[in-house]
């Protein structure tokens, strides 16, 4: 009997230990799911810091004591200096005035709400349809396109995706080498062709590489030669056509724009939209500039959602665009 009792005690103890471990695992899992993503949690204060120069310039108008014509003129000048654009600035001021704010602070709150509300509702998610999903990244040279691709690859990898990069800007050796350098750093395969090779063939080879290696996302870097607009249109259309003919789904066409170039960025976007169906915008170089209002003008003028903001040179300095966080970063004192 003592032996049987001892065995029973040991078994009960083992059951208790197993039960305790299971409870802790479940509670730990629940806790990890309920905690906010640290990257997203840091995005709002970081965006606020990055847009500090724009916010400081706009804040000058709201320090006035009276809501008179001098206030409205100063606010108009501040919005124009922030690259919101003449037409959009006039629209925003008319809509703020229509709310009849009593003080400069009330006008600030109204403007913040107006910007956030007017930019809400658009689909800003990054669609990854297809196996593999294909993301075309387009934009003129010098906008930070290749670096944006590296940042995007880093985030996708952090989310558990297997990524292949296609260096289809075949007429710029520097772009190919830059992408190869990023690929080596991120341990992501980069498919490149010979100098001057057909960009569509490079994109196709990247697609085949992704299928062989069971990667689920292909990100394609493309040329940005707006001076040869007809060739660019043909090239982008061919890349998309070749990929889709071979069973791929081009789920996103992201246009990278230098956020400091104002109306030039609008013109570039219109040219690229004529060449290919742009699904989303990435605005870069908004850190350290006083022209952080460009996202408002560009989205209103073009009707294409801003999906990402480039706010620095680090690999983690690409943040999903959130209208309310953006409005707060611009206008919250």
Q: Which value, to the nearest 10 degrees, does the dihedral of the CA atoms of residues 194, 200, 203, 208 take?
A: -100
Q: What is the pLDDT of residue 275?
A: 77
At 226, the pLDDT band (50, 70, 90 cuts) reads low
Closest to 298 in 3D by CA, of 127, 97, 122: 122
Residue 160 included in any domain: yes
Residue 19 included in any domain: no
Residue 264 included in any domain: yes
Residue 167 included in any domain: yes
Contact 144, 257 (CB under 8 A): no
As a whole number of angstroms, the distance between CA 182 and CA 234 comes to 28
As a whole number of angstroms, the distance between CA 155 and CA 157 comes to 5
As a whole number of angstroms, the distance between CA 6 and CA 3 comes to 5
Residue 295 included in any domain: no
As a whole number of angstroms, the distance between CA 144 and CA 24 comes to 46
Q: Over pLDDT 90: what percentage of the chain?
A: 53
Residue 209 included in any domain: yes
Q: pLDDT tens, 282-319?
A: 999 877 677 788 889 888 888 899 999 988 888 998 98
Q: What is the pLDDT of residue 38?
A: 38
Q: What is the pLDDT of residue 288?
A: 67
As a whole number of angstroms, the distance between CA 153 and CA 137 comes to 12
Look up the CATH number of the domain holding residue 258: 3.40.50.300
Whether 5 shows a pLDDT value over 70: the answer reads no
Whether 10 shows a pLDDT value over 70: the answer reads no
Residue 248 included in any domain: yes
How far does Cα 3 stand from its chain's mean position? 67
Kindly state the average pLDDT of the residues 186-199: 93
Q: What is the pLDDT of residue 132?
A: 95
Contact 135, 220 (CB under 8 A): yes
At 18, the pLDDT band (50, 70, 90 cuts) reads very low
At 33, the pLDDT band (50, 70, 90 cuts) reads very low
At 6, the pLDDT band (50, 70, 90 cuts) reads very low
Distances, alpha carbon 83 to alpha carbons 77, 243, 265, 323, in Å = 10, 37, 11, 17
At 121, the pLDDT band (50, 70, 90 cuts) reads confident
> Which range scores top for mean pLDDT: 8-12, 15-19, 101-105, 272-276?
101-105
171 three-class SS: coil
Q: pLDDT tens, 59-93?
A: 988 998 899 999 999 999 999 988 898 999 999 99
Whether 48 shows a pLDDT value over 70: the answer reads yes
> Which range scores top for mean pLDDT: 37-41, 194-198, 267-271?
194-198
Which residues, 6+ apart, have CB-to-CB distance to 101 below 8 Å? 67, 107, 109, 110
Contact 318, 153 (CB under 8 A): no
Kindly state the average pLDDT of the residues 326-333: 89
List the domain range (segments joined by +) for residue 248: 133-278
- Cβ burial of 156 (10 Å; 0-12, 13-18, 19+) is buried
Residue 70 included in any domain: no
**Count of the separate structural domains present in the chain:** 1
Whether 262 shows a pLDDT value over 60: the answer reads yes
Whether 267 shows a pLDDT value over 90: the answer reads no
Q: What is the pLDDT of residue 45?
A: 60
Tokens for 146, please give them.
Answer: 């290749």
The neighbour count for residue 176, using CB atoms within 10 Å, is 23
Q: What is the pLDDT of residue 171?
A: 84
Whether 36 shows a pLDDT value over 60: the answer reads no
């Amino acid at each position: 009997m003592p032996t049987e009792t001892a065995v029973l005690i040991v078994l009960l103890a083992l059951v208790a230990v197993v039960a305790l471990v299971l409870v802790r695992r479940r509670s730990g899992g629940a806790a990890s799911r309920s905690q906010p993503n640290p990257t997203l949690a840091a995005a709002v204060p970081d965006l606020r810091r990055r847009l500090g120069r724009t916010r400081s310039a706009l804040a000058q108008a709201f320090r006035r004591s009276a809501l008179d014509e001098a206030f409205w003129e100063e606010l108009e000048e501040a919005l124009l200096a922030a690259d919101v654009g003449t037409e959009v600035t006039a629209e925003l001021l008319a809509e703020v005035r229509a709310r009849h704010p009593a003080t400069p602070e009330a006008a600030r709150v109204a403007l913040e709400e107006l910007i956030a509300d007017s930019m809400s509702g658009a689909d800003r998610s990054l669609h990854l349809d297809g196996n593999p999903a294909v993301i075309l990244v387009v934009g003129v040279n010098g906008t930070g396109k290749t670096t944006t691709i590296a940042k995007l690859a880093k985030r996708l990898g952090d989310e558990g995706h297997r990524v292949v990069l296609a260096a289809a800007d075949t007429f710029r050796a520097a772009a190919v080498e830059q992408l190869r350098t990023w690929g080596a750093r991120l341990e992501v395969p980069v498919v490149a062709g010979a100098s001057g090779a057909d960009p569509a063939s490079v994109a196709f080879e990247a697609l085949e590489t992704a299928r062989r290696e069971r990667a689920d996302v292909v990100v394609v870097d493309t040329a940005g030669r707006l001076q040869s607009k007809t060739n660019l249109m043909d090239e982008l259309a061919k890349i998309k056509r070749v990929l889709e003919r071979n069973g791929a789904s081009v789920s996103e066409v992201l246009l990278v724009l230098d956020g400091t170039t104002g109306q030039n960025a609008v013109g570039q976007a219109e040219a690229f939209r004529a060449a290919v169906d742009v699904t989303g915008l990435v605005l870069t170089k908004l850190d350290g500039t006083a022209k952080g209002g460009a996202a408002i003008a560009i989205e209103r003028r073009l009707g294409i959602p801003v999906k990402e903001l480039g706010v620095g040179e680090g690999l983690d300095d690409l943040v999903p665009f959130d209208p309310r966080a953006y409005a707060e970063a611009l206008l919250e004192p």
